[in-house]
C-alpha cells in the first residue's frame, strides 16, 4: 500500500512508504485490513509532517527575500533556497481537525462532539443539524469523551489527564453554569464506564487501591461522596460494559489480549463476580469479545465474538443457559461485526459490518431477527454509532462528518455543515433511510 508525502516546488521531492499488509491480515485470522491500513496511512502522514519539520527546523532562524536562512551552526553547500511559504504549505499535513461523536443529549436534538479548534480536542455542543458548535471545555489537555446525565442532561461526565500522562480523572461539567467538579482522587488512573439503567450511577475502573490493579468502582456523580469500591480485581484489562435493566448486575469484560477475553457478572450489592462462560468453552480458549449489552428483558446479552467463527459475529447468549446463538447466519455471517447498539426499548439492534473494507449499517428487529432494509446510506467508514429515541447517528470517517437518520420524514443529513465548505457530503442530498424506531 503506497502512501506518499506530496511533492512541493521546494525540490524536497516525494517520499513514498510502500507497505505490504496481507501477511498481517492473514495471520490474525480476521478482517483487520481497514483498521491496519488506516493506522499505516496515519503513521505515514505523521511521518511526512515530521519529515517536513525536521528538514525545516535548522533553517527557521530568519527569513530574507522570502527564503528561510540556515541556522548559524550549519554549513550549506549546493542546497537551493527554501521558500518561507513552504512552512505554511507543509503545516496543513501536520495539523488537521475532525469531529468525533461523544453522546446524544437525552432531551431535544442536541449532540455532544469532540473537536479541535486550537491545540487539543475539547467538548462542543451541536444543538441542531448544521448548527454552530458551542465549545464547552477549555483545557490545555485534550477532552475526547463525555456522557450526558441520562435523566435530563443537566451535567456531563468526562475524563481528562494532565500532560499526556494517562492518569485520567473523572469530572462533572454542569451545563447551566459551566462549572467543572473533580469527581475522583486526582492521583489514580480512572477509566469511565456506563451509566446505570436508572441513570443515577456510573461504573468505572480505578487504580486507587494499589496503584496498579484496576478495581471496579461506582458513584453517583451528582453526589461525589457516594463514590465506593465495589469489586477488587487483579491486573488490568478490565472494563464495565453495561448494567442490567434492574441495575442488580454489572456486565464486566476481562480482556487479556485482542484474541482472548472473558465475561463476568458482578452483583451490585455484594460486589461478588461470577464468570459467564458460554457452553462448550472454558478459560484459556482464545475467544475474543467486543461490544457487550444486556437485552432489555435482562435474560441474556448481545455480544460480538469470534467463538467458533473466522469473523467477529453478533450473538445472543442467554444467562441461565449460556449457549451462543448467532444472530447472523449463512453467507451474511461473512465479515466482522465491528460495533452495535440497541434502541432504548430494545426492539431494534443496529450494527456495523466491515464488508470488504467499507462500513455497512444493518438494523434488525430483536423479536424475530428480521432485517430492516436501509436505503441511500453513506459509503465510507463508520467510526462510532449511538442510538437514541428518534435518531440514529454515526460518524463518517471518510470526511470526518457527523451524520444522522431521523424518524418521521426519515431524511438523512449532516450535523456539521462547516467542514469542507459544506461539500463532499457522506450522504447524498435527498437520501432516505428506513430506520423507523430510532
The string of pLDDT tens digits covering residues 379-423 is 777 766 666 544 444 444 434 444 444 433 334 444 443 333 333
The lowest-confidence range among 47-61, 192-206, 211-225, 353-367 is 47-61
Q: Is residue 16 part of a domain?
A: yes
Q: How far is CA 324 from CA 306, 316, 328, 391, in A?
A: 11, 6, 12, 30
pLDDT for the residue numbered 391: 45
Is pLDDT of 278 > 90?
no
Q: How many domains does the chain have?
A: 1
Is pLDDT of 189 > 50?
yes
* pTM summary value: 0.71
Confidence label for 107 from pLDDT (cuts 50, 70 and 90): confident
Q: Is residue 303 part of a domain?
A: no
Domain that holds residue 22: 2-93
Is residue 286 a contact partner of residue 306, using CB atoms and an 8 Å limit? Answer: no
The region that residue 377 occupies, defined by phi over 0 for left and psi between -120 and 50 for alpha, beta otherwise, is beta
Distance, in Å, from the CA atom of 337 to the CA atom of 315, rounded to the nearest integer, reads: 10
Q: Is residue 26 part of a domain?
A: yes
Report which of residues 162 and 243 the model is more confident about.
243
pLDDT for the residue numbered 65: 54
Report which of residues 387 and 83 the model is more confident about.
83
Distance of CA 262 to the CA centre of its chain: 21
Q: Is residue 8 part of a domain?
A: yes
pLDDT for the residue numbered 387: 60
E-strand spans in 127-244? Answer: 133-135, 147-148, 155-160, 169-174, 180-182, 190-195, 202-206, 215-220, 223-231, 238-243
Mean pLDDT over 311-331 rounds to: 90
pLDDT for the residue numbered 241: 97
For residue 59, give every residue at least 6 positions away whose Cβ sits within 8 Å of its Cβ, in sequence order, or none: 68, 69, 70, 71, 74, 82
Is residue 267 a contact partner of residue 244, using CB atoms and an 8 Å limit? Answer: no
Distance, in Å, from the CA atom of 393 to the CA atom of 105, rounded to the nearest integer, reads: 12
- Percentage of residues of the chain with pLDDT beyond 70: 72
Is pLDDT of 223 > 60?
yes
Mean pLDDT over 329-352 rounds to: 89
E-strand spans in 118-168? Answer: 121-126, 133-135, 147-148, 155-160
How confident is the prediction for the chain on average, in pLDDT?
77
pLDDT for the residue numbered 386: 64
User: 164: which 3 cell numbers?
Assistant: 499526556
pLDDT for the residue numbered 190: 96
pLDDT for the residue numbered 436: 28
Task: Render the burial of 100-132: b for 16+ CB within 10 Å, e for the rest.
Answer: bbbbbbbeebbbbbbbbeeebbbbbbbeebebe
Is pLDDT of 15 > 50?
no
Q: Is residue 74 part of a domain?
A: yes
Q: Is residue 41 part of a domain?
A: yes
Task: List 276's β-bridge partners, or say none.
Answer: 263
User: 179: which 3 cell numbers?
Assistant: 462549572
Integer-rounded Cα radius of gyration of the chain: 24
Amino acid at each position: 500500500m503506497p502512501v506518499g508525502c506530496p511533492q512541493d516546488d521546494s525540490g524536497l521531492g516525494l517520499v513514498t512508504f510502500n507497505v505490504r499488509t496481507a501477511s498481517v491480515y492473514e495471520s490474525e485470522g480476521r478482517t483487520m485490513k481497514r483498521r491496519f491500513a488506516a493506522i499505516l496511512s496515519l503513521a505515514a502522514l505523521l511521518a511526512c509532517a515530521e519529515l517536513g519539520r525536521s528538514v525545516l527546523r535548522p533553517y527557521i532562524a530568519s527569513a530574507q527575500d522570502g527564503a528561510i536562512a540556515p541556522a548559524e551552526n550549519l554549513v550549506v553547500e549546493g542546497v537551493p533556497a527554501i521558500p518561507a511559504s513552504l512552512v505554511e504549505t507543509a503545516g496543513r499535513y501536520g495539523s488537521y481537525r475532525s469531529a468525533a461523536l461523544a453522546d446524544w443529549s437525552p432531551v431535544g436534538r442536541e449532540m455532544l462532539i469532540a473537536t479541535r479548534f486550537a491545540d487539543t480536542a475539547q467538548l462542543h455542543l451541536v444543538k441542531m443539524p448544521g448548527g454552530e458548535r458551542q465549545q464547552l471545555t477549555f483545557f490545555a489537555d485534550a477532552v475526547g469523551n463525555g456522557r450526558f446525565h441520562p435523566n435530563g442532561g443537566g451535567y456531563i461526565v468526562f475524563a481528562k489527564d494532565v500532560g499526556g500522562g494517562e492518569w485520567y480523572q473523572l469530572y462533572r461539567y454542569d451545563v447551566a453554569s459551566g462549572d467543572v467538579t473533580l469527581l475522583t482522587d486526582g492521583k489514580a488512573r480512572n477509566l469511565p464506564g456506563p451509566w446505570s439503567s436508572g441513570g443515577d450511577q456510573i461504573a468505572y475502573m480505578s487504580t486507587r487501591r494499589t496503584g496498579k490493579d484496576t478495581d471496579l468502582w461506582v458513584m453517583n456523580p451528582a453526589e461525589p461522596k457516594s463514590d465506593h469500591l465495589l469489586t477488587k480485581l487483579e491486573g488490568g484489562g478490565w472494563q464495565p460494559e453495561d448494567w442490567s435493566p434492574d441495575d442488580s448486575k454489572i456486565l464486566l469484560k476481562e480482556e487479556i489480549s485482542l484474541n482472548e477475553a472473558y465475561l463476568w457478572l458482578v452483583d451490585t450489592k455484594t460486589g461478588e463476580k461470577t464468570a459467564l462462560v458460554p457452553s462448550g468453552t472454558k478459560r484459556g480458549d482464545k475467544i475474543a469479545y467486543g461490544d457487550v449489552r444486556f437485552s432489555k428483558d435482562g435474560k441474556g446479552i448481545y455480544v460480538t465474538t469470534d467463538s467458533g467463527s473466522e469473523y467477529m459475529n453478533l450473538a445472543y447468549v442467554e444467562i441461565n443457559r449460556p449457549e451462543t446463538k448467532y444472530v447472523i447466519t449463512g453467507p451474511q455471517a461473512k465479515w466482522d461485526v465491528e460495533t452495535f447498539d440497541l434502541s432504548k426499548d430494545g426492539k431494534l439492534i443496529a450494527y456495523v459490518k466491515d464488508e470488504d473494507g467499507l462500513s455497512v449499517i444493518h438494523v434488525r428487529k430483536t423479536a424475530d431477527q428480521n432485517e430492516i432494509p436501509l436505503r441511500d446510506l453513506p459509503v465510507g467508514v463508520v467510526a462510532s454509532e449511538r442510538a437514541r429515541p428518534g435518531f440514529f447517528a454515526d460518524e463518517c470517517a471518510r470526511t470526518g462528518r457527523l451524520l444522522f437518520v431521523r424518524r418521521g420524514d426519515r431524511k438523512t443529513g449532516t450535523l456539521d455543515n462547516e467542514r469542507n465548505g459544506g461539500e463532499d457530503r457522506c450522504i447524498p442530498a435527498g437520501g432516505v433511510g428506513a430506520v423507523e424506531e430510532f
